[in-house]
Amino acid sequence: MRKYNFIDLFAGCGGLSEGFYRQEFKALAHIEINPTACKTLKTRMKYYGYENPEKAVLNLDITREDVIERLEEAVDGEDVDIIIGGPPCQAYSSLGRAKDDNAMRNDPRNYLFESYVKILNHYKPKFFVFENVTGMLTARINGEHIVNRIVASLSENYKVKFDAKINVLNAANYGVPQIRKRVIIIGVRKDIEIEPEEMYAGIIKTHYDPEMPDDEKQGLKKYITVRDAIAELPKLRPGQGEKEICFESRRDNEFLKKIRSADDVTLRDHVARNHNDKDAERYAVMSGQHWTFKELLENRPDLKHENPRVFGNSYTVQWWDLPSKTIIAHLYKDGNQFIHPDASQNRTFTVREAARIQSFPDDFVFEGPRTEQFKQIGNAVPPLLAEVVAKCIKEKLNKLEADDDI
């Protein structure tokens, strides 16, 4: 079977494309506006043996009028089998809407999907994957549900099934040590005799999550935990760690075998932030006592935060024996929602720990300073989730090729 080609829009650091790389798809082009994320994309392309990352990674605003021309130069006449990507999600996220007086109604990012559709309708690949946050399902602009407008636009040349019951995937159900629900819309070109429902039927759950009813757990493995993902990493106190060290993983569970190759003896970006004394004590007490922040405030008023806006889940420990909560880009500002479960380390997650929770391989290099690395990780699609989607699409493309339909 031949290699299939993809274009990645709003590529970020390449979490979605990593899943397609792992299924041996070939990247023709990535479009990404953030220059540091583009450096990460180029570094990863080099890792996979590409000789043209400077040409294939386009650091540009996707709304530019000449975007198709720029893409054409990178694609260089090759067939495009699939387009993947998801517009930035701040305008659709409930957090973004809560922080904005106009509930993001005037945010131009609401309409970035139009650029995706423009490129999609130009190339008309066999399939597309459109990814976004679940906040997209409830976001409204001038009283209209934005999701209805997005689905209608995507449907011009494609069969699209929209039903939250099948479109929302939880990364924890696919071997990622994290509760992360995302909308995945898969489109099938109208001349292809495959229905969208068949695509979702091919995305097979492998693990149950903590919220799943018992009757749905049958035949599924237990969720991957924070312990499975990061317990083996060297212990660090605040401010400790080095950019790169020699390290041999135990690779003693299924997750570690997926994200770390047997011959890898390097550990990157496992460096702890410095924390002030009061925060370090909050972390130690919360993880040691197994307390929420509310319980900390009730039992240790001396550790109350001086900022009255800090409340509720502002400080959260990620417990050893559960999947982590959703990794977010806010990590670049502080890690208070990602407190390490080991009280003796009294700190927040390192870049490598966050990357493992997102299921990035240990040999994945994030370019830029730590703030940029955290942003890239928090905005990414977990590669193991992306790989399940890529595997399903590859099977369908193989079937079409075998039937001589493409």
Give catalytic residues, as residue numbers: 89
Distances (CA, A) of 337 to 209, 286, 311: 20, 12, 11
* CA separation for the pair 227, 177 (Å, rounded): 9
Backbone angles phi, psi at 184, to 5 degrees: -120, 110
* CA separation for the pair 352, 343 (Å, rounded): 19
Backbone angles phi, psi at 337, to 5 degrees: -85, 0
Residue 48: both structure tokens together: 């996979």
Tally of CA atoms within 13 A in the half-sphere of 353 that contains its CB? 29
* CA separation for the pair 165, 167 (Å, rounded): 6
* CA separation for the pair 129, 141 (Å, rounded): 23
Backbone angles phi, psi at 305, to 5 degrees: -85, 140
DSSP for residue 224:
P
